[in-house]
Amino acid sequence: MGEFHERYLRSAGVITVADWQVKQYRVTVRDEPIEESVLAAGERFLPKLLRTAAATDDTPRVAFSVLHKGEDAIWLNLYSWCQEAIVHCRAANAPLSTPTSFAELPEPLIGCVWELPALAFERSAWVRHLLRPQRPDLDAYLADRHPDGPVGGP
């Protein structure tokens, strides 16, 4: 194992993909932006990951994504809410040599130590805004985002 370093997570707002609202996060090794071409390719790939996440119940069509520019690849994780309190995960990656050529992963991966803080935060936000209140507040959930900064540490 190599030396461990925290990475940087940033919230990137909410986009609409088909009829889904997707909260976006970005993770980088250093505190630097991800290239626009990679961001655009990730957004274009999201519908492919959503095709298997179609909600068949009354759960709002809401998801969150993590686009992670790592040291070995670009990773794209999509987590969609279904059956009121369950998270469905689909993931893709692209090699650093061709960072806009995403392919869906066949393995049932859910995220690495730098991506999982977004998952933990979103789980708590879902409970806080949609499961606990007498009146669920989807807008409050969409506005509630993990703070920007270092992630992955203890």
Q: Rounded mean pLDDT of the chain?
A: 94
Q: What is the mean pLDDT of residues 52-79?
A: 89
Using 50, 70 and 90 to split pLDDT, how confident is the model at 139? very high
Q: Please check whether residue 77 lies inside any domain of the structure.
A: yes
Q: Please check whether residue 17 lies inside any domain of the structure.
A: yes
Give the pLDDT score at 1.
Answer: 72
Total tally of structural domains belonging to the chain: 1
Q: Please check whether residue 2 lies inside any domain of the structure.
A: no
Q: Please check whether residue 87 lies inside any domain of the structure.
A: yes
| 101 pLDDT more than 90 | yes
Give the pLDDT score at 153.
Answer: 85
Whether 152 and 6 have beta carbons less than 8 Å apart is answered as yes
Q: Please check whether residue 140 lies inside any domain of the structure.
A: yes
Domain holding 21, by residue range, is 7-151
Give the pLDDT score at 52.
Answer: 67
Cβ neighbours around 43 below 10 Å, total: 17
| 94 pLDDT more than 80 | yes
